[in-house]
């Protein structure tokens, strides 16, 4: 039976490799046709000049044709040369990664090389980590990558950093087997040439978006981009099928290595992805918004997935694997690598600065409840009361005394249960006087209104003009959204300024060293910077005003509970910031806050406050 299985694997691998080479040749034929089209006018010109020499094409008409074709050939050749130079020199997009030197992970390099030897394929040139749950081979043989200090030659093996902390050594080997096996087909000259051509076209399309181009160069770049787009469209299907063939060949070759373990390891891949996504959106994102970045995100994945295995019977038994050797033991300094990957994750998913600073500092998990959760609640509560102060000041008019009730929860509840909310922040005097003017002119148009109502009355109009359930919440949510938008714009401006200063300092240091790129820090060689604006991968879409208001009211309730009911801020590994009452998480607060915000009904929240001993009339401490 094993012989039959081995034969089938060999046949599948051979089929995949042949399909990949066939599609690679199709891609190269597109390049050849483009080259032939570029030299066609020059070939016609040569034929015309040869006819003149031999006396076959003589006369005024042939002379004019020779000059026209010659000029056309020169223009086409110059344009083709420009396109070829841009395609060859444009820097292909590279995945932002944490580069691992062999001295930083000798055991991991040894594992990968042993795996390549068992598979009979070339070993990857280097290893890099990415803050994502995926692994792949990335070609960095372009001269721009080599100039940045990245290893040329064979592809670079990119490994998702959460895998190293959650997976065991055997599971990591099984997951990496089909990826490493892809270096075999990738070494074929035709496949390598086709990949370089496709990557060059993809990079050339982005050249027109390069900042700092003058009008002439910008016009030429747009022309080159259009040509590259046409060529890429012509070979896109062949390139996709080529990559499928390479993946099929690598997967078939990897069948011989740890096949049984790989089935179990694939389950861990899906589980790690779920835990990583939950950790980023529920735990890391609140910290990033506070200007703090968790320094041990990958270690947090283990805690999150362990908590998941405790809660979910479907994940039962996964935590028992923690007694085996974790893959992060293959690193010399796991803590330094985890910190670098955590900082890169903050840059990619939130757009944070490239280096720590006064407004962008790391936070340990033990400090998270105090440094992030409590500070987030009090900052949100302060912002909510700032908006309330503005609304009340606009309603009271100039010269009115400031409110005397202080930052209390009662003040928030009373505002959200008002039937006639005051004007929003920034409301003009004309807007405040508009109802009075409308009332003054109401009698003048009463007869006209009655006639219009009798002629065009539509009972469905009342359904379309129903007032919102809680107009006070809408006014407060609008003012809160505007304030948050201003704060976010100011934060982005600060980040852009800090990034510009960091790039200038890095360029100055690189020029002093006589090299370019990032300098190695700690246990890793450096971080390859993201291409394009940050964040590259936003975690969540913009929140609505009602969602923001509910979050801020919840923060106000939590502040009141901490200050008056001996509650404490806590961290839930799957749900993020949590309020702990008597050591237990308060899970029934959310629906009561939504009842107040959405419907203007304070009774469910008041009952909860009375039951837990929270005193809403007491002022809370704000940031």
Residue 226 neighbours by CB distance under 10 Å: 13
pLDDT for the residue 61? 84
CA angle 312, 317, 320 (to 5 degrees): 130
CA atoms within 13 A on the CB side of 526: 13
Helix locations, 254-332, DSSP H:
259-278, 285-289, 297-311
pLDDT for the residue 512? 56
Between 514 and 155, whose confidence is greater?
155
CA atoms within 13 A on the CB side of 316: 4
Confidence of residue 108 (pLDDT cuts 50, 70, 90): very high
Between 398 and 563, whose confidence is greater?
563
Mean of pLDDT values over 4-16: 55
124 pLDDT exceeds 80? yes
The residues, ordered by sequence, that sit 6+ positions from 461 with a Cβ below 8 Å of its Cβ are none
620 pLDDT exceeds 50? yes
3 pLDDT exceeds 60? no
CA atoms within 13 A on the CB side of 144: 14
495 pLDDT exceeds 60? yes
Highest mean pLDDT out of 417-421, 517-521, 569-573: 569-573
365 pLDDT exceeds 90? yes
Mean of pLDDT values over 370-398: 88
- Cα dist. 122→64, 116, 134, 197, 459 in Å? 58, 6, 21, 22, 76
Cβ atoms 577, 376 nearer than 8 A: yes
For helices 545-564 and 375-396, angle between their N-to-C axes, nearest 10 degrees = 110
Judged on CB neighbours under 10 Å (0-12, 13-18, 19+), 338 is buried
Mean of pLDDT values over 236-254: 90
Tokens of 61: 């008409």
Mean of pLDDT values over 34-60: 88
DSSP classification of residue 452 = H
For the residues of 56-71, what is the DSSP string, one character each? SS-SHHHHHHHHHHHH
pLDDT, tens digit, for every residue of 141-193? 766 555 444 455 678 999 999 999 999 999 999 999 999 998 888 888 999 99
526-527 and 361-363: which strand pairing?
unpaired
Pseudo-torsion of CA 198, 200, 205, 206, nearest 10°?
130
Mean of pLDDT values over 518-545: 53
Tokens of 401: 């005394």
- Cα dist. 551→410, 412, 605 in Å? 17, 13, 14
Mean of pLDDT values over 485-513: 68
Cβ atoms 160, 377 nearer than 8 A: no
Confidence of residue 380 (pLDDT cuts 50, 70, 90): very high
215 pLDDT exceeds 70? yes
DSSP classification of residue 441 = T
Between 465 and 183, whose confidence is greater?
183
Tokens of 94: 């590279």
Tokens of 400: 């009115």
Instruction: Please report which helix (H) or strand (E) contains residue 203, including its range.
Output: helix 189-205
Which sign, positive or negative, has the C-alpha torsion 285, 286, 292, 296? negative
Cβ atoms 576, 569 nearer than 8 A: no
Residue 104 neighbours by CB distance under 10 Å: 21
Confidence of residue 294 (pLDDT cuts 50, 70, 90): very high
Min mean pLDDT across 297-301, 326-330, 522-526 is at 522-526
pLDDT for the residue 466? 52
Sheet holding 135-138, edge to edge: 135-138, 156-160, 126-130, 98-100, 526-527
pLDDT for the residue 143? 64
d(CA 506, CA 435): 60
State CA 336 to chain mean position distance: 22
d(CA 433, CA 194): 70
Report the SS3 class of residue 360.
strand
d(CA 15, CA 9): 10
Cβ atoms 331, 105 nearer than 8 A: yes
- Cα dist. 80→41, 46, 72, 196, 312 in Å? 12, 18, 12, 18, 61
Min mean pLDDT across 160-174, 199-213, 309-323 is at 309-323
Find where tokens 């062999």 sit. 102
d(CA 499, CA 118): 44
Residue 187 neighbours by CB distance under 10 Å: 13
Q: How many residues does the chain have?
A: 623
pLDDT for the residue 449? 36
Tokens of 172: 């990591």
Highest mean pLDDT out of 107-111, 385-389, 422-426, 537-541: 107-111
Judged on CB neighbours under 10 Å (0-12, 13-18, 19+), 620 is buried
pLDDT for the residue 322? 66
* ω into 535 cis (within 30 of 0): yes
Of residues 94, 198, 112, the one with CA closest to residue 150: 94
Min mean pLDDT across 312-316, 384-388, 520-524 is at 520-524
pLDDT for the residue 441? 43
- Cα dist. 53→39, 43, 407 in Å? 21, 15, 97
517 pLDDT exceeds 60? no
């Amino acid at each position: 039976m094993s012989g039959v299985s081995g034969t089938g694997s060999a046949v599948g691998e051979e089929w995949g490799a042949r399909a990949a080479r066939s599609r690679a040749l199709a891609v190269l034929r597109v390049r050849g046709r483009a080259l032939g089209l570029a030299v066609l006018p020059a070939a016609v010109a040569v034929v015309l000049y040869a006819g003149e020499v031999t006396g076959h094409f003589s006369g005024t008409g042939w002379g004019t044709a020779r000059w026209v074709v010659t000029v056309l050939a020169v223009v086409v050749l110059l344009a083709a040369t420009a396109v070829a130079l841009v395609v060859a020199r444009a820097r292909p997009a590279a995945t932002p990664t944490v580069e691992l030197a062999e001295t930083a992970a000798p055991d991991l390099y040894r594992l990968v090389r042993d795996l390549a030897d068992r598979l009979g394929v070339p070993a990857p040139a280097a290893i890099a980590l990415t803050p994502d749950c995926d692994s792949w081979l990335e070609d960095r043989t372009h001269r721009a990558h080599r100039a940045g200090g990245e290893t040329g030659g064979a592809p670079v093996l990119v490994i998702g950093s959460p895998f190293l902390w959650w997976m065991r050594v055997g599971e990591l080997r099984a997951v990496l087997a089909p990826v490493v096996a892809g270096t075999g087909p990738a070494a074929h000259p035709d496949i390598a040439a086709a990949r370089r051509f496709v990557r060059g076209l993809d990079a050339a399309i982005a050249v027109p978006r390069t900042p700092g181009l003058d009008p002439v160069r910008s016009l030429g770049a747009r022309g080159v981009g259009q040509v590259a787009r046409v060529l890429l469209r012509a070979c896109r299907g062949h390139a996709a099928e080529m990559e499928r063939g390479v993946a099929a060949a690598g997967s078939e070759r990897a069948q011989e290595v740890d096949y049984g373990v790989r089935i179990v390891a694939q389950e861990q891949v899906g589980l790690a992805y779920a835990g990583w996504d939950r950790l980023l959106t529920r735990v890391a994102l609140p910290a990033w918004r506070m200007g703090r970045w968790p320094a041990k995100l990958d270690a947090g994945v283990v805690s999150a997935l362990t908590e998941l295995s405790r809660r979910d019977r479907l994940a039962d038994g996964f935590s028992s694997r923690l007694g085996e050797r974790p893959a992060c033991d293959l690193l010399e300094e796991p803590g330094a690598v985890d910190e670098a990957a955590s900082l890169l994750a903050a840059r990619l998913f939130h757009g944070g600065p490239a280096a720590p600073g006064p407004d962008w500092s790391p936070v340990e998990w033990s400090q998270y409840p105090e440094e992030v959760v409590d500070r987030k609640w009090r900052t949100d509560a302060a912002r909510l009361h700032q908006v309330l102060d503005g609304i009340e000041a606009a309603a009271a008019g100039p010269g009115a005394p400031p409110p005397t009730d202080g930052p209390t929860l009662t003040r928030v509840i009373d505002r959200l249960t008002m039937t006639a909310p005051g004007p929003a922040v920034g409301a003009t005097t004309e807007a405040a006087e508009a109802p009075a003017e409308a009332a003054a002119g109401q009698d003048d148009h009463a007869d006209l209104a009655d006639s219009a109502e009798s002629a065009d009355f539509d009972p469905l109009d009342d359904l379309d003009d129903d007032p919102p359930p809680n107009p006070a919440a809408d006014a407060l949510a609008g003012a809160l959204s505007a304030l948050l938008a201003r704060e976010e714009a100011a934060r982005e401006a600060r980040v852009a300024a800090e990034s510009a200063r960091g790039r200038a300092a890095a360029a100055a240091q690189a020029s002093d060293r006589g090299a370019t790129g990032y300098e190695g820090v700690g246990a890793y060689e450096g971080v390859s910077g993201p291409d394009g604006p940050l964040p590259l991968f936003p975690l969540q879409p913009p929140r609505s005003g009602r969602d923001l208001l509910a979050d801020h009211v919840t923060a106000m309730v939590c502040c009141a509970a901490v200050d008056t009911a001996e509650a404490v801020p806590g961290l839930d590994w799957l749900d993020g910031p949590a309020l702990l009452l008597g050591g237990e998480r308060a899970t029934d607060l959310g629906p009561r806050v939504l009842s107040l915000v959405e419907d203007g009904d304070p009774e469910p929240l008041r009952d909860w406050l009375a039951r837990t001993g929270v005193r809403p009339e007491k002022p809370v401490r704000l940031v």
